[in-house]
Amino acid sequence: MTQYHVSASAGSPAGNGSETDPFLSIGQAAAVARAGDEVIVHAGTYRESVDPRYGGESETNRIVYRAAEGEPRPVITGAERVDTWVPEGDGVWRAVIPNAFFGEYNPYVETVFGDWTVYPDPRVEVRHLGDVYLNGKSFYEVSSLDKVRAPERWDTGRDAATEAVVPLLDPDATVNVWYCETNAENTTIWANFHDADPNVENVEINVRETCFYPSRPFVNYITVHGFELCRAACPYTPPTADQVGLIGPHWSRGWVIEDNVIHDAKCSAISLGKEISTGDNDSTRTHRKSGYQYQKEAVYKALHAGWEKGVVGGHIVRNNVIFDCGQNGVVGHMGCAFSLIEGNHIYRIGTKREFFGWEVASIKMHAAVDTVVRGNRVHDSVLGMWLDWQAQGTIVDANVFYRNTRDVMTEVTHGPLTFMNNVFASEFSFDDYAQGAAFVNNLFAGRLRHTQVLDRSTPYHFPHSTAPAGEAFVYGGDDRFVNNLFMAVEGEVPSDRTQNAVGSVSVTDAGTSCFEDYPRSLAEYEQRIEEAGLGDEELYRNILQPMMLASNTYLNGAKAASRETDAVACAEAGTLSLRETDDELWIMLALPDAARGATGSVVSTVDLGQPRIVEEYFEQPDGSPIVVNRDMVGDLRGKESARGPLAVYPSGEVLIWSSAHLE
């Protein structure tokens, strides 16, 4: 093993990478590091895009890039400082930058573009991939120079997914905005700095597309540990695109991205997504086929580009802090399969609302086959997590979602998909456009929406494999709700970070009453099909799928469907509150005696059966059984334990998330 050292303060372009003669840039080390080598990066700011030339050979013979111990985090940034601003009056300054400054990639020419973008309409208005930062804080792009001279104050907007009116900006805040124009020689940026002098303060602009991203696929087994990575002009990443992120493996296997602080990606922070050969926004570019059709084609093309276990995927994204990104904290189509997303703190994703598309969420994954999402804290985002297309064998365990416009959405996937020991604390807890899920020992504080999708037939796979076994529509249902706590908590969301109650909900949408007319077993479903008479596909579209409902508790008006085994509905109210710091999150539940005393038995694979379409058991990625015998904080459940995410509910607070929990 060779150790290479990199130092922004003591390194040299002619250095040999030793501790006494370090490299100046990480790129110098990335050009020579081979399997088994370690690159130690010392404190400093590295204005570069690291493009590792080589990868490791196995889990135990990888290339490790890590921050030097005992020093401040090294910063890898896609931005450059600009101190050549010329004042134009009333807080407006102008910077004229030669296009050669940007090289082959000019973020003030490149725009937010791609399939399923909704706002802005590129025929009317564009948003560029560039940005302007004053002392680390990003500005808002506006569509004309007049709007730079007279910034509009706007404090509400409409969320395109829910039609809800949402806050955009603090109405008392100063609105910092910018605008750009580009010709053959120069890029000109105007920005309103109000009372600040941009030539004195730290003003930066986006320059590079990525911070740490190989230019070619199959650069395998790399670890990136302990950095701050920020301010990259990465593009919009729908599942039909070349999914480039601020950092990512680029269609490789076995990466570990851990203990980093990642922020201000224009679109996506960590990309575990697909590469360009399987398509790149072809619907928007050609208008020849729908995005749905191109996405389906991408799946089959990817099978010819190495999409299988042991070749692509199998990454670990662990214990990172990710915030202030325009589209995603973690994104991935197919390349996210067989991965672990664990212990991350993700917040303020998509909340600038400068642009919007149907791919915006803190965690947005397609084809997360046998992927585990565990112990993450996700809040203050437009959507906490969105599991789309082929979330088969996916396990979502012991996460907490709160103060999101919506907590979690599942879409056009057939299962098996297991949610256990999670807290969904926002007023819109779960948006279900899928089927074949098991919900075991979760807390739903808000409303649920359940929908069929009968116009998109999507693939499913042989168990624990990427090999397609067939395609099907989403008929709705075929879910299991066991040992959950539905609270329908009412109240406003305070802004004080130490007094976080959950939001108000429409109690008619909380609970399982929407499944009233569904059969309660596969046998009952099959009987209804038989009684419907002759026919084929139309019978399965018209007959509701089976639902397993057992041992759930309902508070504050949350309603249960009839014929549920051991349902407990409490007339007395219960309350839920959250208290947080940057590093820890506590929950306090005040429950009536009937709810506190309600118990359920330990649920395992044998209790959950198989989703009707896929016919795969709810089990671990390695094929071993799931046994929900521990709660979200790791405490052992007895033969009978409390319903919801905790094995017992004490009178005081419970620490449910800590940044130190993986150390």
In this structure, are 155 and 55 located in the same domain? Answer: no
Could you list the residue range(s) of the whole structural domain that residue 39 is in?
1-76
414 closest CA partner among 461, 355, 382: 461
> Would you say residue 579 lies in a domain?
no
Q: What is the mean pLDDT of residues 475-501?
A: 68
Q: Residue written as tokens 């506190």?
A: 596
In this predicted structure, the answer to whether residue 637 has a pLDDT above a threshold of 80 is: yes
In this structure, are 88 and 71 located in the same domain? Answer: no
Q: Residue written as tokens 């093309």?
A: 301
In this structure, are 123 and 167 located in the same domain? Answer: yes
User: Residue 433 forms beta bridges with which residues?
Assistant: 411
Task: Report pLDDT for 121.
Answer: 78
> Would you say residue 4 lies in a domain?
yes
In this structure, are 93 and 147 located in the same domain? Answer: yes
Task: Report pLDDT for 504.
Answer: 30
In this structure, are 25 and 5 located in the same domain? Answer: yes
Task: Report pLDDT for 495.
Answer: 28
Boundary residue ending a domain (206, 237, 252): 206
> Would you say residue 120 lies in a domain?
yes
Tens of pLDDT along 393-433?
Answer: 999 999 999 999 999 999 999 999 999 999 999 999 999 99
Q: What is the mean pLDDT of residues 489-494?
A: 46
Boundary residue ending a domain (33, 51, 76): 76
Q: What is the mean pLDDT of residues 310-317?
A: 97
Task: Report pLDDT for 289.
Answer: 97
Band (266; pLDDT cuts 50, 70, 90)? very high
Tens of pLDDT along 137-182?
Answer: 999 999 999 999 987 655 445 555 554 545 455 555 678 999 999 9
Q: What is the mean pLDDT of residues 440-448?
A: 96
> Would you say residue 123 lies in a domain?
yes
Q: What is the mean pLDDT of residues 312-334?
A: 98
In this structure, are 133 and 195 located in the same domain? Answer: yes
In this structure, are 62 and 115 located in the same domain? Answer: no
Task: Report pLDDT for 499.
Answer: 30
User: Residue 444 forms beta bridges with which residues?
Assistant: 424, 486
Please tell me the number of Cα atoms within 13 Å of 451 on its side-chain side.
14
- 98, two tokens: 């030669």
Q: Residue written as tokens 């359920």?
A: 600
Tens of pLDDT along 122-135?
Answer: 777 899 999 999 99
> Would you say residue 454 lies in a domain?
no
- 341, two tokens: 């997303």
Q: Do residues 549 and 448 lie in contact, with contact meaning Cβ atoms separated by under 8 Å?
A: no
Domain count, the chain: 2
Q: Do residues 511 and 564 lie in contact, with contact meaning Cβ atoms separated by under 8 Å?
A: no
In this structure, are 85 and 161 located in the same domain? Answer: yes
- 28, two tokens: 């110098």
Instruction: Lowest mean pLDDT of 48-62, 111-125, 342-356, 576-590, name the range.
Output: 111-125
**617-620 contacts: CB < 8 A, separation 24 or more?**
617/416, 617/463, 618/415, 618/416, 618/418, 618/438, 619/393, 619/416, 620/395
Task: Report pLDDT for 505.
Answer: 33
Across the chain, mean pLDDT equals: 92
> Would you say residue 599 lies in a domain?
no
> Would you say residue 627 lies in a domain?
no
